[in-house]
Amino acid sequence: MEQLSTQAKLYFDEANQYFLKGAYQNALENYVKAIGLKPNYTLAYINLGNTFCQLGQYDRALASYNRLIAIAPETVQVYYNRAIVYRKLNQLDKAMADYTKAIELNPQYADAYVNRGNIRQKLHEYEAAIADYSFAIDLSSNYIEAYYNRALAKMALGQEAQAQQDLEQAKQIKDNFSSTDSHPSET
């Protein structure tokens, strides 16, 4: 059994290398081999779905994610990734449900809050979107996208002064990152 697990890991690692090079068909083949050897290989299912998504094969991506949910329903990342596919398919209710499930499983998942906020903003649910962006900011105070998107939602509600504060905060964070990137830190 240990040998099968080791071989599955080798296929998985090779698939990841193909994925990074954009050789998605080769990646698919190796993820499938890894899953064949280790049928409950969570990361292989996630990456298989991600690869199908890269190829625009959303039905196959959903099938991969759904299979993983049947095997390991507490896997946070699979709900987040499936939500991305649902969003691409403009199935916003399903995407929202999956972002919510990801948040239920991991209340510290700032990206899930931001993406759920993005859907809420698209649905003109600005106050709920602001709440999601605020949660993300509470979890990650340097989350530029959360500040920016919260500013947009506040503008939609006519809260220009508060929106301006968020835009200034986003700019300050960006400037701080830019200045630290351009100057190596001293040790």
Query: Domain spanning 1-91 has what CATH number?
Result: 1.25.40.10
Domain with CATH 1.25.40.10 in the chain: 1-91, 107-181
Provide the 8-state DSSP code for 94: H
CATH number among 3.40.50.620, 3.40.50.720, 1.25.40.10, 3.40.50.11030, domain 107-181: 1.25.40.10
Q: Provide mean pLDDT across the span 20-32.
A: 97
Contact between 139 and 108 under an 8 Å Cβ cutoff? The reply is yes
The answer to whether residue 165 scores a pLDDT higher than 80 is: yes
Q: Is 157 helix (H, G, I), strand (E, B) or coil?
A: coil
Contact between 154 and 182 under an 8 Å Cβ cutoff? The reply is no
Residues in the chain: 187
* ∠ CA 135-140-143, rounded to 5°: 95
The pTM for the full model equals 0.89
Q: What is the pLDDT of residues 57-84, one digit of tens each?
A: 999 999 999 999 999 999 999 999 999 9
pLDDT number for residue 186: 36
